[in-house]
């Protein structure tokens, strides 16, 4: 009898989040439902009151608070992140609403293995307040992007994008809510492609 090939082991993810954690929850739900061949090893969050920590508790996923205010530099903060990720045997890092600029300390520890979710169709509206930037510019279409993280802010190779129409009566809250629906979808899509080793990177 021929042996049945072993199923590939789940992609071991570490999630970095600063706030509510809806994308973290969408990932956890997809993994629990068998949609993704992945496992969240640890959540790292930097704001003590971030609701994402409660979400991790609900999903019984280890969470670690690393408050950036307690570190003398961005590099020392990233060094603590790397140490934690290594402790939990993380393979890929997912920045899901992570409101910190990363340094070469983290980038060199996980080269080409850090992905970020940004609420615009990059390269448009990089940086903070991307939804407000889109409304101020008067564009008719915006969206969201999953990309590999590089040293230059919001500039790494794009893995997935989704377009979202801007409605005449949109506010930052209503537009962001519709973008978030697509964020959940393309984040899962990008991780599924990574897990299947079929990532097509557009440059």
Q: Cα–Cα distance between 125 and 137 in angstroms, integer?
A: 9
Q: Is 118 a catalytic residue?
A: yes
- The residues near 57 (Cβ < 8 Å, ≥ 6 apart) are 63
DSSP code at position 70: G
- The residues near 115 (Cβ < 8 Å, ≥ 6 apart) are 92, 93, 94, 95, 146, 147, 148, 149, 159, 190, 191, 194
Give the active site residue among 70, 118, 129, 184: 118
Q: Cα–Cα distance between 15 and 94 in angstroms, integer?
A: 5
Phi, psi of 194 (to 5 degrees): -65, -45
Residues designated as active site: 118
């Amino acid at each position: 009898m021929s042996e049945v090939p072993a199923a590939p082991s789940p992609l071991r993810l570490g999630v970095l989040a600063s706030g509510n954690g809806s994308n973290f929850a969408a990932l956890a739900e997809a993994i629990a439902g068998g949609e993704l061949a992945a496992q969240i090893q640890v959540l790292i969050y930097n704001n003590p009151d971030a609701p994402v920590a409660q979400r991790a508790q609900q999903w019984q996923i280890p969470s670690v608070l690393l408050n950036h205010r307690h570190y003398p530099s961005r590099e020392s903060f990233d060094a603590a992140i790397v140490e934690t990720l290594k402790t939990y045997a993380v393979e890929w890092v997912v920045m899901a609403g992570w409101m910190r600029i990363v340094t070469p300390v983290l980038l060199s520890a996980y080269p080409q293995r850090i992905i970020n979710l940004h609420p615009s169709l990059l390269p448009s509206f990089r940086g903070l307040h991307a939804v407000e930037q889109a409304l101020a510019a008067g564009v008719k279409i915006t969206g969201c992007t999953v990309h590999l993280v590089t040293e230059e802010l919001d500039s790494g190779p794009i893995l997935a994008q989704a377009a979202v129409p801007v409605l005449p009566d949109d506010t930052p809250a209503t537009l962001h809510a519709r973008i978030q629906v697509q964020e959940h979808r393309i984040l899962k899509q990008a991780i599924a492609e990574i897990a299947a080793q079929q990532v097509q990177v557009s440059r």
